[in-house]
Amino acid sequence: MQIDTKFIYQTKLIAALQESNDEESLVAKYKHEISLEALMYMFGGGNPKVTPEDERIVEGDIVLPNITDDSNELNGRKAVKEPLLLWPLATVPYTYHYSITDDEKRVIEMAIEHWQNETCLRFKPRTMFDYYFVRFRSDRSGCWSLLGRQPIYIHYGQDISIGKGCAEFGVVTHEIGHVIGFYHEQSRSDRDIAIHINWENVEKKFTLQFEREIDINYNVGYDYTSIMQYPSWAFSKAPFEKNSVVTLDPRYQRLLAKNNGLSFRDKKIANHLYACNKNCPNRKTTECLNEGYLKPYRNDGRQCECECPPTTTGKFCETLVKENYYDAIEPLPCGGNITQEGYIETPDYPQRLWPKQSCTWIVMAPSEKVIRLTFEGFEFAPRLYLPQTKAHKKCVNETVEVRLTNKYSGSIYCGNDITEGTEMISEGPEAIIIIIADKHMIGKGLRAKIEFIKKKSKNIWDLWEKVSG
Ligand SMILES: [Zn+2]
């Protein structure tokens, strides 16, 4: 019966692929999660540190213009607070450098269309009257762009580099995000209410990549699913082994850098930033509830409708269907809080019938006890074979992180890393197991016994007291 379910799923998938016409398969080709190669350029130290024009690249993919006055480097980074760095009339003139191929143009145009559909931003081919403009080019190494409209590039144009491996929908959407004035999500001034930076796991020379910015977020909440969010291993000393960025609530770790387009909150901030609804005839009379906002005005004299968050429905977003923003985007498929001894296992163990079964278990023992995990089975997608890269022999496609000593940092496993009978013991009364599973459904999953045991005493005098009775 279980095998039938898998068969049906795969049959549906094949049928869906066969049915898709050329245009749809083109979308499927580019609209996937951002590839590992592109992520490594942006957040794995793969991008150059300076551009050929000698401008510094910070936070992985943001170019700082060479400003000749005595302003410090942060001055170039206050885009969201600095109206001069926004594009007047929400219009971004652009050109293609001769290095851009037809295929790359298709991807760029898909990303432009996405931004135009969701905001009032307009991208138009540059004319001789446009003194400020962006230039897409693919003859340089890496994926990067500048933050906002940078006045010093008047007449010259500012580059968006779509280097080798960067011509992807998600990457171009992200780089355009910088150009219209977006920082990275985790550099928001309020990031500490949502994420934790494991400074001990950040490569020393990259600690500056985690600075907080002075910004305005228009009361729009932090968003793990933002297209501007770093992946969990960004600028880590040991990428894919030690996480640098973790969500305060471990159940949402699976959502980091998995989005391939603008999230609801990305769209909302962009709409605020460019005052997209200021000409809506009903701007003062229609109130969108529960985080909703008025969609951009389309210059057609018609009233603007509410764009509702994933948690609500209704004309004015008045009906709350889910409490939590992230659960509304993607319900947690498995896992939970474990407060009693027993077993944990992945759904359908020892088979894997569904993709993306990313479970998170938070195990809590009584305060005087510690947790012993005994693995009875463990099999996931194998370690990656990608010689001469930082991802070689690492757990990239699927990860199982076990946190035994630190609430935010643990060890990462995959493949057949954990043999049957392996025991792991927590330091305190809490242990966290986070599975981030992909679509391949390789292996049988995980099954482990949970026991609450007495903490072994490390103090020699405690031992002496026990021995002497
Ligand atoms: Zn970026």
pLDDT in tens, the chain (469 residues): 343 433 333 333 333 334 445 555 555 666 677 888 888 888 888 888 888 888 888 888 888 887 644 443 444 333 445 677 899 999 999 999 999 999 999 999 999 999 999 999 999 999 999 999 999 999 998 999 998 999 888 899 999 999 988 999 999 999 999 999 988 887 777 888 889 998 888 887 777 667 666 667 778 889 999 999 888 988 888 888 999 999 999 999 999 987 889 999 999 999 999 999 999 999 999 999 999 999 999 988 899 999 999 999 999 999 999 999 999 998 888 999 999 999 999 999 999 998 888 999 999 999 999 999 999 999 999 998 888 788 889 998 899 999 999 999 999 999 999 999 999 999 999 999 999 998 788 899 999 999 999 987 666 665 565 555 4
**Whole-structure pTM value:** 0.87
- State yes or no: ipTM above 0.85: yes
CATH says 24-67+82-183 is which class? Answer: alpha beta
* Encoded tokens for 136: 């897409």
CATH says 334-454 is which class? Answer: mainly beta
The answer on whether 174 is annotated among ligand-binding residues is yes
Q: Ligand 1 centroid to 442 CA: how many Å? A: 32
DSSP 250-270: GGGGGGTT---S--HHHHHHH
Which residues are in the CB-under-5-Å shell of ion ligand 1? Answer: 61
Parse the chain into domains and list their residue ranges.
Answer: 24-67+82-183, 277-329, 334-454
Burial class (CB in 10 A: 0-12, 13-18, 19+), 409: middle
Q: Ligand 1 centroid to 118 CA: how many Å? A: 20
Rounded Cα–Cα distance for residues 10 and 207 (Å): 44
Catalytic residue selected from 104, 175, 185, 291 = 175
Strands (E), 19-131: 56-58, 62-64, 91-96, 122-125
Contacts of 47 (CB under 8 A, 6+ apart): 41, 57, 60, 61, 141, 142, 143, 144
CB 256 within 8 A of CB 242: no
DSSP 197-249: E-GGGB-GGGGGGGPPP----TTPPP-TT-TTPPPTTTTBSSTTTS-SEEESS
Name all contacts of 277-281 with Cβ < 8 Å and 24+ positions apart. Answer: 277/304, 280/304
Look up 213 and say whether it is catalytic: no
Amino acid at 215: D
Q: Ligand 1 centroid to 440 CA: how many Å? A: 28
Tokens 């068969």: give the residue. 7
Q: Ligand 1 centroid to 410 CA: how many Å? A: 26
CB 360 within 8 A of CB 435: yes
Q: In what order do the strands lie in the sheet with 430-436?
A: 334-338, 359-364, 430-436, 399-403, 411-413
* Encoded tokens for 346: 């992945």
Q: Ligand 1 centroid to 178 CA: how many Å? A: 7
CB 78 within 8 A of CB 214: yes
The candidate with the shortest Cα–Cα distance to 44, out of 195, 184, 236, 241, is 236
Rounded Cα–Cα distance for residues 404 and 410 (Å): 7
Q: Ligand 1 centroid to 337 CA: how many Å? A: 35
- Residue range 277-329, CATH number: 2.10.25.10
Rounded Cα–Cα distance for residues 194 and 230 (Å): 13
Rounded Cα–Cα distance for residues 127 and 91 (Å): 12
Q: Ligand 1 centroid to 15 CA: how many Å? A: 36
Q: In what order do the strands lie in the sheet with 143-146?
A: 56-58, 62-64, 143-146, 158-162, 134-137, 91-96, 122-125
The answer on whether 196 is annotated among ligand-binding residues is no
Element (H, E) at 345: strand 342-345
Calculate ∠ Cα 452-458-459, nearest 5°.
130
Q: Ligand 1 centroid to 137 CA: how many Å? A: 16
Q: Ligand 1 centroid to 80 CA: how many Å? A: 14
CB 278 within 8 A of CB 284: no
372-387 exposure pattern, b = at least 16 Cβ within 10 A, e = fewer: bbbbebbbbbbbbeee
